[in-house]
Structure 1
Amino acid sequence: MTMSGKVGEGDWSVSAEVKPVAGGFVCTVHVDHDDPKGKFEHQFKHHTVFATERDAVLEGLREGMVWIEQKRAHSIHL
Structure 2
Amino acid sequence: MALSGSVCDNDWSVSVTTHQTAGGFYCSIQLSHNAPEGVFKHGFTHSGVFPTEREAVLAGLREGMVWVQLKVARTLSL
After TM superposition, the score normalised by the length of structure 2 is: 0.98
1:64 partner SS: helix
CA distance in 2, matches of 1:50, 1:20: 10
The gaps in structure 2 that reach 5 residues or longer are: none
The gaps in structure 1 that reach 5 residues or longer are: none
In the alignment, which residue of structure 1 is the partner of 2:51? 51
Count of residue pairs brought into register by the alignment:
78
- The sequence identity of aligned pairs, in percent, is 51
1:39 aligns with 2:42: no
CA distance in 1, matches of 2:37, 2:24: 39
1:19 aligns with 2:19: yes
Which 4+ runs in 1 deviate beyond 3 A?
A: none
